[in-house]
Amino acid sequence: MRAKIATSLSALLLCFGGQSPAQAIDPAYQPQMERLAEIMGALYHLDDLCLRSGIDWREQLAELMDLDEVDDDRRARLAGAFNNNYADFQQSHSRCTDSATLLTSRFLEEGAKISYDIHIRYAE
C-alpha cells in the first residue's frame, strides 16, 4: 500500500517538474492540491502515531510546491491547509487507536487517488 502511495506521489511530483512558472490565476487543480495538502497534514501526525513509515509529509508537500512553482499566495494557502489539518489531528489523536489507523489508511488511499487524478488530467 505504501509503495502505491509513494509511486502515485512520485508521479505527481514528476508531472510538475516541467511546468512553466505559476501564474496569478489558480490552476484548475488547486482545490485538489489543497485537499492533498490537508491530507498530508493529517498524515504528518497520524503516520508518526501509527505507521512510522519514515515519510516526511511536510517535506513531500514542500517538494510538490517547489516543483509546481507555486506563487506566494498559493504556497500560503497550501501550507495553511497542511498546518490546520495537522493541528486538528494533533489535538484529536494523541495515540494510535483503531480510529487513527482507519483514518490513516483512508487518507493514504484518498491522497493516492487525488495524486493520480491530477497526474492523469494535468500532466503534459
Q: Which residue has the cell 511536510?
A: 58
Query: Looking at residue 8, what is its pLDDT?
Result: 58
Mean pLDDT of the chain: 88
Q: How far apart are CA 18 and CA 23, in angstroms?
A: 15
Residues 6+ apart with CB under 8 A from 55: 2, 6, 43, 47
**pLDDT band (50, 70, 90) for residue 123:** confident
The long-range contacts involving 26-32, CB below 8 angstroms and separated by at least 24 positions, are 26/74, 27/122, 28/122, 29/118, 29/121, 29/122, 30/74, 32/114, 32/117, 32/118
pLDDT over threshold 90, residue 15? no
Residues 6+ apart with CB under 8 A from 118: 12, 15, 29, 32, 33, 36
Query: Looking at residue 23, what is its pLDDT?
Result: 47
Q: Which residue has the higher pLDDT, 73 or 12?
A: 73
- pLDDT tens-digit map of 22-59: 446 999 999 999 999 999 999 999 999 999 999 999 99
Query: Looking at residue 18, what is its pLDDT?
Result: 47
**Residue 107 CB-half CA count within 13 A:** 25
Q: Compute and round to an integer the Cα radius of gyration of the chain.
A: 14
Distances (CA, A) of 37 to 13, 53, 81, 97: 13, 18, 6, 23
pTM: 0.81
pLDDT over threshold 90, residue 14? no
The angle, 0 to 180 degrees and rounded to 10, between the axes of the packed helices 2-15 and 57-68 is: 20
